[in-house]
Amino acid sequence: MIRRWTLLALLLISPWAGAVQAGPAALPADSVYRTALTLRDQRGLPFTLESLRGHPLIVSMIYASCKDACPMTVEAIKRIRTAVKERTGRAAPPVVLVSFDPARDTVGALAMMASMHHVAAPTWRLARPERGDVRAFAATLGVSYRMRPNGDFSHNIAIVLLDADGRIAATTSEVGALDSGFVARVAHAAAH
């Protein structure tokens, strides 16, 4: 009995007494992850933006039936990731491409797009919004889009590097030649 009381007394006066295991720190005010958005990827797996917290990430917006800008965006990100690997010897951050056409971008359509571009999960997640404000997410990234009468979309391109807390660290709209400044920022993120 004395042993138990002694052990209890030691635990109470130890430096760990009363320590509360802290949860994750609050998201910064400028975090993209503050946008309430639930997504489903090309494998049919649901996830939230906030679940991506903890490591840098490359994000952009697409729609699967796009014939011009979206395929160029995917290929540009592939080149960026290759340049980062060559520069640092490390893998570039993973990629999340969010659709702004959830009505037509089914899981199957996104899986087909991933297959056509030879990109695969978990490194590449092509996702459709299930719940939340995709327009707010797009605006945060600097993407604007509108549907044309023929069902296609008019949209700009933004390839965005997010830091581990979902803050925008760098942005490019260059899909022709590599944006060396953007590649350098992604390489720095990959190395740290």
- Report d(CA 75, CA 183) in Å as an integer: 14
Give the pLDDT mean for 171-192: 94
Question: For residue 1, is it within any domain?
Answer: no
DSSP per-residue string spanning 67-121: SSHHHHHHHHHHHHHHHHHHHHSSPPPPEEEEES-TTT--HHHHHHHHHHTT--T
Structural domain boundaries enclosing 155: 31-191
Mean of per-residue pLDDT scores for the chain? 88
What pTM, to 2 d.p., does this model score?
A: 0.85
Residue 22 resides in a domain: no
Is position 18 within any domain?
no
Average pLDDT over residues 112-135: 95
63 inside domain: yes
What is the tens place of the pLDDT at every residue in 87-120?
A: 999 999 999 999 999 999 999 999 999 999 999 9
With contact defined as beta carbons under 8 Å apart, do 166 and 31 qualify? yes
CATH number of 36's domain: 3.40.30.10
Tokens of 167: 């803050």
| pLDDT on residue 2 | 53
Q: pLDDT grade, residue 73 (50/70/90)?
A: very high
Residue 45, pLDDT score? 97
Residue 19 confidence class, pLDDT cut points 50, 70, 90: very low
Q: Is residue 4 part of a domain?
A: no
Is residue 142 domain-resident? yes
| Total number of domains in the chain | 1
Residue 2 located in a structural domain:
no
Residue 66 located in a structural domain: yes
* Structure tokens that stand for 142 in this block: 């600097």
Name the phi and psi angles at 173, rounded to 5: -120, 10
